[in-house]
Amino acid sequence: MAIMVENNGRLFNLHTKDCTYQMYADEYGVLLHTYYGKKIDGENLADLIFQADVGFSGNPEETVGNREYSLDCLPQELPSDGVGDYRESCIALLHGDGSIAADFRFESYKIFPSSYTVEGMPALYDKEDEKGETLVITMREKASKVTVRLFYGVFEKENVITRAVRVENRGESEVVLTKCLSGCLDYQFGEYDLITFAGRHAMERIPERNRIRRTKLEVGSLRGTSSHQYNPSMIVCTPDATEDFGECYGLCLVYSGNFTACAQKDQRGQTRVLMGIHSEKFSFCLRTGEYFAAPQLIMSYSDSGLSKLSQQYHKILREHMCRGAYQYRKRPVLLNNWEATYFNFNKEKLISLAEQAAKLGIEMLVLDDGWFGKRDDDNSGLGDWHVNEKKLGGSLKELGDRIHDLGMKFGLWFEPEMISEDSDLYRAHPDWALRIPGREPNRGRNQLVLDMSRNDVREYLFERLADILEHAPIDYVKWDMNRSICDIYSHQYAGSQNGEVYHRFVLGVYDLLERFLQRFPDILLEGCSGGGGRFDAAMLYYSPQIWCSDNTDAVNRLEIQYGTSFFYPVSSMGAHVSAVPNHQTGRVTPFRTRGHVALSGSFGYELDLNKMSEEEKAIVKEQIEDFHKYYSLTHEGTYYRLTPPGERFCAWEFVDEEKDHALQTLVMTSAEGNPLPVHTIVKGLSPDKYYCCSVNGQVHSGRTWMGAGLTLRMVPKEYESILIEWNVVEKGLGRKPI
Ligand code: DGJ
């Protein structure tokens, strides 16, 4: 059993392979957070809490005269608003009389031998042979009969503990939920750093590390999506933590909308970390019997550095979040026509691209934006999901059949959540767009956003998507979303319920995605939001790969894919070889390097193959051979970051499960005269096995490779790259060490 309950049902220990999470419901029913860290035996650790009268920290009424007991100082599981804990809270209520107190106390608990689901939202799920366990703790608000159910899921092997929250109004009068975060971690002792992942369009998820002090650190999104600017994931770690050392706690929110992630020390130096739906622009009205479900938070603990933490997330997300036919099925090498043609294509152009692609071993043509409605630039047509047969020189089925006849798969781009003002859909249903009556809307890419909270909107979209996919041979869909949301106003939830619209929008997107997957289970879905604007754990539930960034520059991609790898598996990162000078940066990098960088992702091409030289075509064939040769390593192997970006070179590694085969990719990011040596260490081998290195034929034990590493005989030139393999050999085989 991973969940142990003692002390008359008041002490809860959640044990995973390497860690323990402990809570204790004390004599006043306050659910204390007493421990999270290295695995321990689970004795009651409430004694570790130092209680003192610190002044200006009040005491709950039951403590009569005990000035040392204050919610303002205690480590808690559900710190609530308005009852004397002046730190950031997890939950806030607005009662009918205008009061805001939320005083939740322990009521009961239940254990289930399987994982829990979160209604309307993605969550980690059980596998046939690998089930999680769930602890549900019920807390009751002292005066209002609002109850909170805290869900804790345990995945033992992956060192993962999840939490979700469900708030229910069991009272007689309406209550407004004005804040409901998914999780809170209180650390009584110690110094910690916070690593967050920030960026911008075309430069997403760049790690930023800050010491947690009394000044609040907070990132988040109020853009309606998880955003390019901040990712809903963060790491709390000891200041000495490196890739291989130190304690690290990951927090990853399974949500694709507005979020907050914050950390701050309190007056006594205790650290509080919180994550969940952003409370700004949020309120949820709960009438009698109604409830609100907050998204799942996936927490994971590593006692030995960041690499292990990332590997745990890769495994849990690949195995318990990604779903569908392509969860494990080999992904096809694709050619996307976007950077090859943008909107300027016709049937002949597409067929000639497909013919060339087929000759080179590419397995799928993806037709991107511009095939529907009136859409020759990005100012019109969104919402009119009708094939533009004039532009395609025939039906989509004819085009798809031609591509299939070449032995290739066929993929199609959609942007379902959007509407152009210049579209038949907008002319017919202006109220389907999110816009505030009497105001001109803010436009992003000259488009508006559909009100996905509305059922009729989703019905229309599903009917259009299904009609197109049923009448043409489509194997893949790219689901794009190209602007941030503003002008939040739904005709359906106008007035006091307008605070629900951002969240209901996200629920609407999930609903449409779920219907899509149920109806077309064999289609490979790739998520996208102007590249990586919605790269989050929730989207992986629907799409096992997500276009990582609109930036295809191989050198910028080193940083973007590095940052993305802290939480998300390499198999989930869409990565393409594109033309040079690169369309986003103007940089020129060697063709091989572009391939090596894209191979560490869901691999494809995005350039006009007909404009390539014969030499480049030969390299494409080589790259596709490499893709097949290394697929199991790059998509299923264990991933190690070897260097942070910004060094002279960037290197990373994959090792297979048996530890028989390792692959390093190394990209030189700068050039210098009289160059210094390039030396990398090797990770993840078996110490007692012997390995031959592909670049120098030397054989050493895993112990030696991991301890001493490899020095390259030749220093690659700027932007050149190299793949280095280690293959297990019988001791004594291969070239003798010199
Ligand atoms: C943004 C995407 O990230 C691109 O790859 C492309 O699909 C365009 N949208 C098309 O509008």
Concatenated DSSP letters of 699-726: EEEHHHHHHH-EE-SSPPPTT-EEEEEE
Asked if residue 369 has its Cβ within 6 Å of ligand 1, the reply is yes
- The Å distance, Cα 351 to ligand 1 centre, comes to 21
- The Å distance, Cα 287 to ligand 1 centre, comes to 42
pLDDT score at 737: 43
Is residue 424 within 8 Å of 385, Cβ to Cβ? no
Q: What is the pLDDT of residues 353-410, one digit of tens each?
A: 999 999 999 999 999 999 999 999 999 999 999 999 999 999 999 999 999 999 999 9
Q: From the CB of residue 409, how many other CB atoms can be counted at a distance below 10 Å?
A: 21
Asked if residue 413 has its Cβ within 6 Å of ligand 1, the reply is yes
Q: Which of 88, 186, 247, 536 is catalytic?
A: 536
Q: Using the predicted structure, report yes or no on whether residue 735 has a pLDDT greater than 70.
A: no
Tokens of residue 26, six digits: 């004390």
- The model's confidence at residue 732, banded by pLDDT at 50, 70 and 90, is low
Q: Can you tell me the mean pLDDT for 239-244? A: 98
Q: Can you tell me the mean pLDDT for 477-495? A: 93
Q: Ligand 1, atom 10: nearest CA belongs to which residue?
A: 369
Q: Which domains does the chain have, with CATH numbers?
A: 3-320 (2.70.98.60), 326-347+362-522 (3.20.20.70), 641-729 (2.60.40.1180)
Q: Using the predicted structure, report yes or no on whether residue 26 has a pLDDT greater than 90.
A: yes
Asked if residue 532 has its Cβ within 6 Å of ligand 1, the reply is no
616 is catalytic: yes
Is residue 125 within 8 Å of 118, Cβ to Cβ? no
Q: What is the pLDDT of residues 662-698, one digit of tens each?
A: 999 999 999 999 999 999 999 999 999 999 999 999 9
Q: Can you tell me the mean pLDDT for 479-485? A: 98
Q: Can you tell me the mean pLDDT for 468-476? A: 98
DSSP string covering 666-703:
EEE----SSPPP-EE---S--TTSEEEETTT-BEEEHH
Q: What is the pLDDT of residues 96-127, one digit of tens each?
A: 999 999 999 999 999 999 999 999 999 999 99
Q: Ligand 1, atom 2: nearest CA belongs to which residue?
A: 530
470 is catalytic: no
Q: Is-above-0.95 flag for pTM? A: yes
Asked if residue 482 has its Cβ within 6 Å of ligand 1, the reply is yes
- The model's confidence at residue 733, banded by pLDDT at 50, 70 and 90, is low
The helix (H) or strand (E) run that includes residue 686 is none
pLDDT score at 738: 37
Q: At 236, is the secondary structure helix, strand, or coil? A: strand
pLDDT score at 736: 46
Q: What is the pLDDT of residues 30-42, one digit of tens each?
A: 999 999 999 999 9
Q: What is the pLDDT of residues 524-540, one digit of tens each?
A: 999 999 999 999 999 99
The whole-angstrom separation of Cα 278 and Cα 259 is: 4
Q: Can you tell me the mean pLDDT for 493-501? A: 87
pLDDT score at 462: 98
The whole-angstrom separation of Cα 391 and Cα 369 is: 12
Tokens 């037709």 found at: 367
> If you ran DSSP here, which 8-state letter would residue 591 be given?
H
The gap from C-alpha 416 to its chain's centroid, in whole angstroms, comes to 21
Going by C-alpha positions, the residue among 89, 91, 29, 93 that lies closest to residue 61 is 29
- Give the position, in ligand 1's atom list, of the atom nearest the Cα of 336: 5
The whole-angstrom separation of Cα 41 and Cα 298 is: 23
pLDDT score at 1: 82
Q: Which of 169-183, 205-219, 256-270, 482-496 has the lowest mean pLDDT?
A: 482-496
Mutational test site, ligand 1, from 382, 547, 551, max ligand atoms within 8 Å of CB:
547
The whole-angstrom separation of Cα 412 and Cα 403 is: 12
pLDDT score at 216: 98
- The Å distance, Cα 266 to ligand 1 centre, comes to 44
Q: Can you tell me the mean pLDDT for 67-83? A: 97
- Give the position, in ligand 1's atom list, of the atom nearest the Cα of 528: 3
Residue 578 amino acid letter: S
pLDDT score at 491: 86
- Mean of all residue pLDDT scores within the chain: 97
Half-sphere exposure for 276 (CA within 13 Å, toward CB): 27
Asked if residue 528 has its Cβ within 6 Å of ligand 1, the reply is yes
Q: Can you tell me the mean pLDDT for 637-664? A: 97
Mutational test site, ligand 1, from 200, 337, 369, 375, max ligand atoms within 8 Å of CB:
369
Asked if residue 477 has its Cβ within 6 Å of ligand 1, the reply is no
